[in-house]
């Protein structure tokens, strides 16, 4: 894929990480597709939400930034299946948990948007 596509996906991921760190649903709505599928695959905590339900949860949480938590994230892989389909594997830490996210992105008009967020987590080991 083109360097421009990698740059665009990187910008989506930066906005995604910052939106989660700030618990900013307005910011997150800019990176999520309106038909988002949010899936927690952690055993015993399986969860399936749509965009509006997930944004309500984000709005109800204390932002990690307000607690003074540092941003800790890493993009592990960006893979393109076509000019309209990409996959991102990422890790991040927040709310006392280590998360592994598998994100599927699609072209939505002229932008990349996250259409599926499937993740699991484990309690953070200090």
Question: Residue written as tokens 């960006």?
Answer: 78
| 86-112 residues labelled b (16+ CB within 10 A) or e (exposed) | bebebebbbeeeebbbbbbbbeeeeeb
Give the pLDDT score at 13.
98
Residue 126 clears pLDDT 70, i.e. is over it: no
Structure tokens at 60: 């109800």
Query: How many residues comprise the chain?
Result: 126
The pTM for the full model equals: 0.93
Question: Residue written as tokens 């259409």?
Answer: 115
pLDDT in tens, 57-98: 999 999 999 999 989 999 999 999 999 999 999 999 998 899
pLDDT in tens, 5-31: 889 999 999 999 999 999 999 999 999
Q: Which of 36, 59, 40, 45 is nearest to 101 (CA)?
A: 40
**What is the set of domains in the chain, with CATH numbers?**
3-123 (3.10.450.50)
Q: Which of 45, 58, 53, 38 is nearest to 102 (CA)?
A: 38
Averaged pLDDT score across all residues of the chain: 94
pLDDT in tens, 23-53: 999 999 999 999 999 999 999 999 999 999 9
């Amino acid at each position: 894929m083109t360097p421009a596509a990698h740059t665009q996906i990187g910008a989506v991921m930066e906005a995604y990480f910052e939106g989660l760190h700030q618990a900013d649903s307005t910011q997150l709505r800019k990176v999520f597709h309106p038909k988002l599928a949010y899936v927690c695959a952690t055993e015993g905590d399986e969860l399936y939400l749509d965009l509006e339900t997930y944004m309500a949860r984000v709005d109800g949480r204390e932002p990690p930034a307000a607690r003074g938590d540092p941003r800790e994230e890493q993009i592990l892989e960006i893979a393109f299946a076509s000019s309209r389909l990409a996959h991102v594997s990422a890790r991040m830490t927040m709310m006392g948990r280590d998360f592994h996210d598998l994100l599927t992105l699609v072209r939505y008009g002229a932008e990349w948007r996250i259409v599926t967020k499937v993740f699991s987590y484990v309690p953070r080991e200090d």
